[in-house]
Amino acid sequence: MKKRLTMGKRRKLVSWLFILPATLLIAGMSFYPMIKAFLLSFTKGFGKTSEFVGTYNYQRLFQDSLFKTSLGNTFIYLILQVPLMLLLALILASLLNNPKIKCKGLFRTMIFLPCATSLVSYSIIFRSMFALDGFANSVLMNLNMISRPINWLGEIWPARIIIVLAITWRWTGYNMIFYLSGLQNIDPQVYEAARIDGASVSQQFRKITIPLLRPIILLTAIMSTNGTLQLFDETKNLTNGGPANMTISISQYIYKLSFEYSPQFGYAATISFIVFLLVAVLSFLQMKVGDKRD
């Protein structure tokens, strides 16, 4: 028998053991291929014709108008969509956490359903609703809000807005459930006390809900930023990048470069690393602001 470790050292060892399986798996399944892909970004061609080209692919980025368009589009989605969705999810979660609201289970399920709905069916219905002779135009025309039908998916800004709405529609309920589960750890008496002190609903929301949910808000903010910067499904299925590539996202462009076009894996990897850098910087900023222990 070896000498027993001290409690503190033991605990430290155990804590690292708890972390080890997950960390090893991520190292192997994500970091290893990431490093491989990073090396790939300095090459062109593939297989036997692969050759080292230094920073050539990175220089190409500056002449690539499609890359610039896709980068711009993705940022438009990011700026419009993430705050809208997270705020909506927060409001819904706090409403549905209110003990006085009835039929909460039903509302919760209905609001969650979009993210379980298959991409195939919802993209078909979104496209038909926003067709030239679709539901959206007939409602707006009947309400006299527009004088002639809008070609929602055929014009640049309407198409971008539909994409933002579609992502928001799909993922709000998803984010809501993290808030709901987070709210369970807040003692209802905190709200009770605030009410007695005469705090209004919006004050309670700002002064209690948001600060106490901060760790979860940070989580959803990082996840949504990452999700939007890697957006693929919606642009591929709703507009297929059109009209004239004005709604294409970076991930859709990477996919095209890898599997539709004559493959340019090195260049696709280069663009992937730009995405990586962007998400990393944004997440770092979010961590800086949000990841504090009291």
Partner 1 sequence: MKRKLLSVILMIAMVTCLFTGCSKGSDDSSKTGSNKAEGSKTSDDPVTLTVWCWDPQFNCYAMNTAGDIYTKAHPNVKVEVIETAWDDIQTKLTTAVTSGQTNTLPDIILMQDSALAKNIINYPDAFVDLTNSGIKFDQFAAFKTALGTVDGKKYSVPFDNGAAITCLRTDILQQAGYTLDDFTNITWKEFIEKGKVVLEKTGKPLLSNQAGSPDLLMLMMQSAGAWVLDENGKANFKDNAVLKEVIDTYVELVKSGVLVEVNDWDQYVSSINSTTVAGAMNGCWIVATVTSAADQSGLWGVTNVPKLSNAGATNYSSQGGSSWLVCANSKNKDVAADFLGETFGGSVELYETILPSSGALATYLPAGESAAYANPQDFFGGDTIYLKITEYASKVPQVSYGVYNYEARDAIGAAITKIVAGTDYDTAIGEAQKELEFQMGQ
Partner 2 sequence: MTKAKIKYFFAYAFLIIVSFISIFPLLWMLISATNTSLDVIRGKMSFGTAIVDNFKQLIQTTQIGQALINSFRNAASLTIISLIVCSLAGYAFEIYHDKWKDGVMKLLLLSMMVPFAATMIPLFTWFGKMNLINTTAGFMLPSISTAFLIFLFRQSSRNFPYEIVEAARIEGMSEIRIFTRIFVPIMKPTYAAAITVTFMNAWNSYLWPLVILQDKKSQTMPILISNLISGYTINYGVLMLAVSISTLPTIIIFFLLQKNFAEGITGAVK
Of these partners, partner 1, partner 2, none, which one is at the site of residue 144 (CB under 5 to 8 Å by kind)?
A: none
Which residue is listed with tokens 């990048």? 241
Round to whole Å and give the CA distance between 260 and 263. 7
Residue 21 binds partner 1 (CB under 8 A): yes
Which string of b and e fits 167-190 if b means at least 16 CB within 10 Å? bbbbbbbbbbbbbbebbeeeeeee
Which string of b and e fits 129-159 if b means at least 16 CB within 10 Å? ebbeebebbeeeeeeeeeeeebebbeeeebb
Of these partners, partner 1, partner 2, none, which one is at the site of residue 64 (CB under 5 to 8 Å by kind)?
A: partner 1
Please provide residue 6's backbone torsions phi and psi, each rounded to the nearest 5 degrees.
-70, 160
Q: Which of 76, 140, 161, 218 binds partner 2 (CB under 8 A)?
A: 218
Q: Which of 242, 273, 274, 279 binds partner 1 (CB under 8 A)?
A: 242
Task: Count residues near partner 1 (CB under 8 A).
Answer: 40
Of these partners, partner 1, partner 2, none, which one is at the site of residue 222 (CB under 5 to 8 Å by kind)?
A: partner 2
Residue 145 binds partner 2 (CB under 8 A): no
Residues between 183 and 222 that touch partner 1 (CB under 8 A): none
Q: How far is the CB of 147 from partner 2 (least distance, A)?
A: 24
Residues between 56 and 95 that touch partner 2 (CB under 8 A): 92, 95
**Closer of 92 and 268 to partner 1 (Cβ):** 268
Q: How far is the CB of 206 from partner 2 (least distance, A)?
A: 17
Residue 1 binds partner 1 (CB under 8 A): no
Residue 128 binds partner 1 (CB under 8 A): yes
Q: How far from 160 is each of 51, 60, 196, 206, CA to CA, in Å? A: 39, 27, 46, 31
Instruction: Please check whether residue 138 is in contact with residue 148, taking contact to mean a CB–CB distance below 8 angstroms.
Output: no
Residues between 166 and 185 that touch partner 2 (CB under 8 A): 169, 173-174, 177-178, 180-182, 184-185
Coil, helix or strand at residue 117: coil
Q: Which residues bind partner 1 (CB under 8 A)?
A: 14, 17-18, 20-21, 24-25, 28, 44, 46-47, 60, 63-66, 124, 127-128, 131-132, 151, 153-154, 239-240, 242-245, 256, 258-265, 267
